Amino acid sequence: MSIFSVIIPALNEEAGIAGCVAAVRDFDPDVEVIVADGGSVDRTAELAAAAGAVVVRGPRGRGPQCNAGAARATGEVLIFLHADTRLPADAFPLLHAVLADPGVQAAKFRLSFDSGDWLLAIAARLMWRDSLLTSYGDQGIVIRRELFAELGGFPDWPLFEDVRLFELARARTEIYVVPAEVVTSARRFEANGVLPQLLHDLWLWLQYVVGVSPHEIARSYERRGAEMQATP
């Protein structure tokens, strides 16, 4: 039995969820893989189960879904992985070595994108360090179960639940940066434009930093999206 439980929050990810689960299991078939479904209306849950994952259902929202997956997990170390992110091939040997030090309580990987865009490559490289601005869930969140429980898990927020978990963990321990890269999808940037999406993400982050509620940020974001769709 592996010490790791990989928890993948998913919502309508039928196109890629089987590949995500299979990639983890190919690297280590003993690792527990849990897909936390938030109410998909496609075949996400079915395909995840067929690929070998345990499927749990939780309230929609990445934080609540991750918490539901963590409640089902049996591993001593929890790895929260986005459905469109792939771990490096040597992830588990590296983590075994890193976590042999009991002082390492929480970690993330370096970031890369599945895109050749030079601006995205620079943005990804800038996020290799740990800080309030440079640590997010798409880099993979590795945390010992005991610390995760002590922190109360993820907040029930529509945005920035990953940033908040890193903040809480950072107040207790150093966030170790694993010297290997995850590869995450650039689909948002390809759909919206790299620079506009980067600037938009920075604007959301600035609102969070000055104390705007993540719920209000999410409502504003949804209103803006609806207005843009309504504009001829």
Walk along the chain (232 residues) and give the pLDDT tens digit of each residue.
Answer: 689 999 999 999 999 999 999 999 999 999 999 999 999 999 999 999 999 999 999 889 899 999 999 999 999 999 999 999 999 999 999 999 999 999 999 999 999 999 999 999 999 999 999 999 999 999 999 999 999 999 999 999 988 999 999 999 999 999 999 999 999 999 999 998 999 999 999 999 999 999 999 999 988 777 655 544 444 4
Angle between helices 118-126 and 194-209 (to 10 degrees): 30
pLDDT of 225 reads 53
Cβ atoms 9, 65 nearer than 8 A: yes
CA distance 123 to 217: 23
Task: Give the model's pLDDT for residue 224.
Answer: 54
Predicted confidence at residue 49, as pLDDT, reads 96
* Matching residue, tokens 């001593």: 76
Between CA 91 and CA 98 the distance in angstroms is 10
Q: What is the pLDDT of residue 196?
A: 93
- For 4-230, which CATH class? alpha beta
How is the chain split into domains, by residue range? 4-230
Model pLDDT, residue 158: 86
**The dihedral formed by the CA atoms of 40, 13, 66 and 139, expressed in degrees to the nearest 10:** -160
The residue among 109, 141, 142 whose CA lies nearest residue 124 is: 109
Closest CA to 163 of 190, 129, 132, 193: 132
The pLDDT, as a whole number, for residue 89 is: 94
218: left (phi over 0), alpha (psi -120 to 50) or beta: alpha
